[in-house]
Amino acid sequence: MVTEERVINLEATLARFMEQSSVVLAAIHEDIAEIRASNARTDRQLLEMQQQAERDRHQAEQDRKDFNKRLAELSDSMGTLIEDMVAPCGFRLAQAIFATEEAHICGIRIKRKHPSHPGEMMELDLLAVGPTKTLIVEVKRRMDAEKAAQMHSKAARFSEFFPEYSGRTVLFAAASVYLEPSVIPFLNRERIYGIAMGEETMQVVNLGQF
């Protein structure tokens, strides 16, 4: 009798244990499923973040290219604008700089190939020619030592590209809508005339200063 009771109690205990184990296992399985689902959501979020970051990188690169293109177009249009502002004043500006004579030729956007080396070309924003002097005007939104050196180099080779004007004194001017006052001493040292917008029209800002 005692043995039967023990067997019954053991079976009941085992049944409760199995029942509790099933509950625990179910909870564990549920937790594992939730962890897997959470990991899957995290993986999806990380993938979406990576994809968005890649899209943002491509967009930023495209925006940078578009900005550089617009900046270049704006820079070109500004250069053309200044040339168009200087052109109507070419003869007057040349006369002011020449002082002792007038220009009889004045042209803008001049390109000339080297007569002996066709692969080389010289481009001039404005050229004014007088009996004994020539004036080369370059549009420069900013002036520095490097740009001044380039202008002097162009002046030194001018007669190579324009032999018909050789023997004339070559004068140089830098033109901009506005020239900082601090730039004038530099232009004077480099013996470069500065041309900028005055009250009504373009004018030479450092006449007689060198």
Q: What CA–CA distances, in Å, run from 118 to 115, 124, 153, 162, 164? A: 6, 17, 19, 13, 17
User: In the chain, what's the furthest Cα-to-Cα distance?
Assistant: 143
Q: How many CB atoms lie within 10 A of CB 92?
A: 17
Token pair, residue 53, equals 């970051």
Percentage of the chain with pLDDT > 70? 77
Q: Which residues on neighbouring strands pair with residue 174, listed in sequence order?
A: 138, 194
Q: What is the pTM of this model?
A: 0.62
142 domain-assigned = yes
Residue where the block lists tokens 């004038």: 184
Q: Which residue range forms the structural domain that includes residue 160?
A: 89-204
CA neighbor of 159 nearest in space, from 169, 150, 149: 169
Whole-angstrom distance, CA of residue 41 vs CA of residue 38: 5
CA 208 to chain centre: 37
15 domain-assigned = no
Number of structural domains in the chain? 1
What CATH number is given to the structural domain containing 140?
3.40.1350
37 domain-assigned = no
181 domain-assigned = yes
Token pair, residue 54, equals 């890649």
Quick one: pLDDT at residue 75? 46
User: With a cut of 70, which residues of the chain have pLDDT below it?
Assistant: 1-21, 23-25, 65-84
99 domain-assigned = yes
